[in-house]
Amino acid sequence: MRGYRPLPETAKQGILPSTRSASSEYRQGEMAMKVSGRCHCGQISFEAEIDPTQVRICHCTDCQTLTGSAFRTTVPSLPGSFVLRSGIPKIYIKTAESGNRRAHAFCHECGTPVYAAAPVANPPSYGLRVGTLDRRAELRPTRQGWCRSALPWSMDLTGVKRFERQP
């Protein structure tokens, strides 16, 4: 697809040693993890590499509204690793409180949020929505932002009754 860079030929399933130079944007961890994901209906699918130590939660009111939930969980793709495998997402340009603009991509059929990126051709990184990733159970958030906007109950769910399925 035009506008998307392919994964390196050396990429294999799982966690890989990083081949990025010290001068690249990726400096956080020593390992990269290959992930794939899709929207709920399957029309949009993608692959990327991520640093699994960079999973984050955002409690800002924009993320609450855009997800229809209490917060959004994302992980940035490593530079140049995002590949759109199928479908063409619908793009919504959001202007943040800071004035920065972000292109939010979602499936035009089922509405699943897929990623956000700078609104330019070939953005260096994509903020992948963790809920769309096949390996999401392996990813644990390492930080939370905009906690001043967090719904008070969302910070501690330990006392909430749990059921394996819909009660």
pLDDT tens-digit series, residues 120-142: 998 999 999 999 999 999 999 99
Query: Structural domain tally of the chain?
Result: 1
156 belongs to a structural domain: no
Can you give the pTM of this predicted structure?
Answer: 0.79
135 belongs to a structural domain: yes
Cβ within 8 Å of residue 165, ≥6 positions away = none
The amino acid present at 111, given as its one-letter code, is: G
pLDDT tens-digit series, residues 45-60: 999 999 999 999 999 9
CATH code assigned at 103? 2.170.150.70
What is the 3-state composition of the chain as percent helix, strand, coil, each rounded to the nearest 5?
15, 35, 55
Cβ within 8 Å of residue 73, ≥6 positions away = 55, 56, 57, 58, 129, 130, 131, 141
142 belongs to a structural domain: yes
Structure tokens at 163: 């059921």
Residues of the domain holding 142: 15-19+28-150
The amino acid present at 62, given as its one-letter code, is: D
Q: Which of 116, 108, 114, 92 is nearest to 45 (CA)?
A: 114
